[in-house]
Amino acid sequence: MELLKIENLTKVIKNKKILDNISLTVNSGEIVGFLGPNGAGKTTTIKTIMGLFTITSGRITICGHDIVTDFENAMKNIGGIVENPDLYKRMTGRQNLEYFAALHGGVKKEHIAEVVSLVKMSQRIDDKVKNYSLGMRQRVGIAQALLHRPRLLVLDEPTNGLDPIGIKELRDLLKYLAHKAGGGVFISSHLLSEMELMCDRIYIIDNGVIIGEKTIDQVQEGSEDDIFSYTFVTSDNEKVYEYFKSLDANCDRENGGVSVVMRREQIPGLIRAVVEMGVDIYAVNQAHRTLEQDFISMTTGTKEQIR
């Protein structure tokens, strides 16, 4: 089921087009990443989804409810953090959650305890927020976003301030919410390696335009035009290395073989040439393409040479 659907969304601020006709979806049971350089339009998109910015043109629906014509029902199905959690620092974490629970209405104390446990803040929830680290405030912010049991969770840079253990715990929590509890997560982050571990699909935005959509599997598999690093393990690695050097290829001796950077479509011809040299090939191993390489390739318009 589509939990979030954005259709041809355009946002103009002070005569500047910040978002230009973007469309995307988030389905139940998946985590969707939203990537882009600083100023690309990520936070503007998220603020518009959350109803904090008006729509210039286009349409946004949450669980089938239009955020313009059916705002209240749309917002009942969404929870999120935009930039930093909005918490009262002189209150404890629990007091904050109880306050926001009262605003929603119908949130039981048992559910507050449940979300506190989910974000692993049970031991510190009765401390004042002013004594929390940024990572702790992020955890309580996510607990706050989950109070009314939203089907869609929208997070803007939620890994800010988290140490590696905290990032892993957040990743596990979001995977639980999407893959086991059947919700949907829409998340922006600058930690590309972490997004690769966390997300099922990603959208890339640049200058207010969606320039790509891929599953993580598609990112790693690449296409015929993508550049990869290949390691040749042969009966005469030195001869193969000298041959690759003669082609002015980006190559190196490593892992008991010879690595070379090539487009996928060039590899069959390279294999034939090595065999014709009288060299036996025992293996040709392709390195996985990473989300970082794909991101750089798409946002700069060039193919990165991989080492």
CATH number at residue 102: 3.40.50.300
What pTM does this model have? 0.75
Is the separation of the CB atoms in 210 and 32 below 8 Å? Answer: no
Q: Can you tell me the distance from the alpha carbon of 135 to that of 163, in angstroms, rounded to the nearest whole number?
A: 8
Residue 294 lies in a domain: no
Question: Does 301 reside within a domain?
Answer: no
Q: Are strands 2-13 and 57-62 parallel, antiparallel or unpaired?
A: antiparallel
The reply to whether 83 and 156 lie within a common domain is yes
| Across 216-221, average pLDDT | 70
The strand pair at 31-35 and 201-206 is best described as parallel
The pLDDT of residue 225 is above 80: no
| Domain assignment present for 299 | no
Does residue 7 sit in the same domain as residue 137?
yes
Residues 24 and 103 in one domain: yes
CA distance 122 to 201: 32
Same domain, residue pair 46 and 81: yes
Structural domain range at position 256? 223-288
Of all residues in the chain, the percent with pLDDT exceeding 70 is 91
In terms of Cβ atoms closer than 10 Å to its own Cβ (0-12, 13-18, 19+), residue 291 is buried
H or E segment and range at residue 211: strand 209-215
Do 273 and 195 sit in the same domain of this protein?
A: no
pLDDT band at 305 (very low <50, low <70, confident <90, very high): very low
Residues 127 and 146 in one domain: yes
**pLDDT tens, position by position, 167-203:** 888 889 899 999 999 999 999 987 777 888 899 999 9
Q: Examine the domain organization and report whether 37 and 116 are in the same domain.
A: yes
Q: Looking at the 3D structure of the chain, how many domains does it have?
A: 2
